[in-house]
Amino acid sequence: MHRSGSAAIRILLIILGINFLLDWYVLSGLKSLKTGRRWPLVKWGYLIISLGVTVLFVAGVPSYRSARGMTPYHEWMLSLFVVFFITKVFFVVVLSLGDIGRLFYGIGRRLFGTGAGAGSLIPGRRRFISDAAVLFAAIPFTGFLYAMLKGKYDYRVHRQTVYFDDLPEAFDGFTITQLSDIHSGSFDNTTAVQRGIDLAKEQKSDLFVFTGDLVNNAAWEIEPYIAHFGSLKAPYGQFSVLGNHDYGDYIEWASPEEKAANLEKLKAHHAALGYRLLLDEHVLLEKNGQKIALVGVQNWGKGFIQIGDLDKALEGVDKDAFKICLSHDPTHWEEKIRYHDTTIHLTLAGHTHGAQFGVETDKLRWSPVAYRYLDWAGLANEKNRFLYVNRGFGFLAFSGRLGIWPEITVITLKKTV
């Protein structure tokens, strides 16, 4: 067995051990609700649901790296396990705070009480503590359930206008619709997906681009949706690049030849969608006799596959030309593009999904993915070299989105007055 596989098993066993301890503690708290004759029903109902979700999740783990990879069924089981696990943690936090309070109260009563009236060391748990634990635990449970049932298809349009001194005048007001991280193998509601596609079509942009991760692992995942995403058209064309998941690195193949054939099949699917797949190359877009260069690189990411060749993609491009780069992983911009000898005016990326969870308001913007990526959503700028990170159209692993909703980006290029 591979060392990484052994480590994964150990981690899984630790998580399951913690999960069962949480179950034991939660049951002790539920018993304090004084359900009377209904207690057997509450106890066994909880155990059947909790253990059932755990068993179904664990049963699917061995097939996560199979030829089919993580299917929507697997993602639902993983997601339900995560939701119940987090809900239990919230419940236990409140319950344990109450129990710590009971312990100190009991110690104080022993130390300063008199005679038999001092009572036991730890007084009995009061019902209001368990009631508070239930209410507190209902917050993540309700939120994540919404994320799974509605949030993952709650498409939002993000509009961004970017100004440039050297934008060719003919492209002043030029619009680009960007999708990223479709992850078609995760979809479980074709009607909802079509709503997102229709919303993208309604933008009627001049150019359509897709910045990688068409599938989770295998080329067949996009096949049911080729007609749907193939309906996205723009006057100046549809262009795409590959993301880290498109190379099939996260599942086991029967042979290297099978894996290579899968990638070739996926490239053919880009053509069937009507997308011009840019593999370390560029195209020139012309309007009213003026041109801009659209550059597309294969995946290059810090901690991920690094095969994208920006220098190759720029071969033959005038150094002074206005350039837009499609590159899946924003760390490529952070590590390479913004420091390149040739100015790339605007880079469009995705990859992070915004962790599919977080908070975005006028005053607060946070996601756990911020601890991994410096630029994880929206616009970044360094010395007029811009990066825009799309939050992703689809979802992966966790079958939901909460706070960081699926995104359709509309970029408007403007010439500085």
Render pLDDT for 180-203 as a digit per residue (tens, 0 to 9). 999 999 999 999 999 999 999 999
> Which structure tokens are listed for 101?
């309070």
* Same domain? 32 vs 120: yes
Q: Given this model, what pLDDT does residue 129 score?
A: 85
344: nearest Cα among 316, 317, 324, 326:
324
pLDDT in tens, 250-298: 999 999 999 999 999 999 999 999 999 999 999 999 999 999 999 999 9
Say whether both 411 and 266 belong to one domain: yes
pLDDT tens for 338-363 read 999 999 999 999 999 999 999 999 88
Strand partners, 295: 282, 325
pLDDT of the residue at 347: 98
Q: Are residues 289 and 407 in the same domain?
A: yes
- Give the integer Cα–Cα distance in Å for 417 and 409: 24
Strand partners, 177: 208, 410
**Does residue 171 share a domain with residue 114?**
no
Domain that holds residue 228: 153-415
DSSP labels, 351-399:
-SGGGGB-EE-SS-EE-GGGGT-SS-SEEEEETTEEEEE---SS--SSS
pLDDT for position 121 = 57
- Domain end call among 126, 149, 172: 149
Q: Which amino acid, one-letter code, is at 347?
A: T
Share of the chain above pLDDT 90, in %: 82
Confidence of residue 1 (pLDDT cuts 50, 70, 90): very low
Query: 3-class SS at 295?
Result: strand
Cα within 13 Å of Cα(390), Cβ side? 34
* Last residue of one domain, picked from the residues 93, 117, 149: 149
Indicate whether 84 and 192 sit together in one domain: no
Count of other CB atoms within 10 angstroms of residue 58: 14
Token output for 125: 């748990």
Closest CA to 232 of 200, 193, 187: 200
Query: What is residue 407's predicted lDDT score, i.e. its pLDDT?
Result: 98
Look at residue 45 in the predicted model and tell me its pLDDT: 94
Query: pTM for the full model?
Result: 0.92
Task: Give residue 123's pLDDT.
Answer: 58
Residues 54 and 82 in one domain: yes
Q: According to the model, what pLDDT value does residue 216 have?
A: 96
DSSP letter string, 277-296: E-SSEEEEEEETTEEEEEEE
Q: How far apart are CA 150 and CA 332, in angstroms?
A: 32
Tell me the C-alpha distance between 290 and 361, whole Å: 39
- Judged against a pLDDT cut of 80, whether residue 67 lies above it is answered with no
User: Is it the case that residue 329 has pLDDT exceeding 80?
Assistant: yes
Q: Could you read off the pLDDT of 141-156 as tens digits, one per residue?
A: 999 999 999 999 999 9
Instruction: Out of 51-65, 100-114, 134-148, give the one with best mean pLDDT.
Output: 134-148
Which pLDDT does position 66 carry in this prediction? 72
Q: Which of 298, 301, 291, 322 is nearest to 312 (CA)?
A: 298
**In the Cβ-directed half-sphere of 323, how many Cα atoms lie within 13 Å?**
27
pLDDT-based confidence at residue 410 (cuts at 50, 70, 90): very high
- Mean pLDDT of the residues in the chain: 92
Q: What is the pLDDT of residue 186?
A: 96
- Contact predicate 140/86, CB 8 Å: yes
The whole-number pLDDT of residue 116 equals: 47
- Structure confidence by residue, pLDDT tens digits, 47-59: 999 999 999 999 8
pLDDT per residue over 234-258, tens digit each?
999 999 999 999 999 999 999 999 9
Q: Does pLDDT of 32 surpass 90?
A: no
Position 362 scores a pLDDT of 87
User: With contact defined as beta carbons under 8 Å apart, do 305 and 249 qualify?
Assistant: yes
Number of residues that make up the chain: 417
Mean pLDDT of 316-337: 97
Query: Is there a single domain that holds both residue 115 and residue 217?
Result: no
Residue 115, pLDDT score? 47
The residue type at 124: G
The total domain count for the chain is: 2
**Which one of 117, 133, 149 terminates a domain?**
149
Quick one: 328 and 383 in the same domain?
yes
Please determine, for residue 34, whether its predicted confidence score (pLDDT) is greater than 90: no
Return the CATH number at 369.
Answer: 3.60.21.10
Q: What is the pLDDT of residue 415?
A: 97
Do 157 and 145 fall within a single domain? no
**At CA 214, angle to CA 272 and CA 182, rounded to 5?**
120
What lies within 8 Å, CB to CB, of 76 at 6+ separation is 148, 188, 399
Q: How many CB atoms lie within 10 A of CB 294?
A: 24
pLDDT of 395 reads 98
Residues with Cβ within 8 Å of 170's Cβ and at least 6 positions away in sequence, in order, are 287, 288, 289, 290
Of the candidates 299, 298, 353, 297, the residue with the CA atom closest to the CA atom of residue 325: 297
d(CA 248, CA 259) in angstroms, rounded, equals 7
Residues 189, 144 share a domain? no
Q: What pLDDT was estimated at residue 6?
A: 77
Q: How confident is the model at residue 372 (pLDDT cuts 50, 70, 90)?
A: very high
**Together in a domain, 254 and 318:** yes
- Asked if residue 374 and residue 269 are part of one domain, the reply reads yes
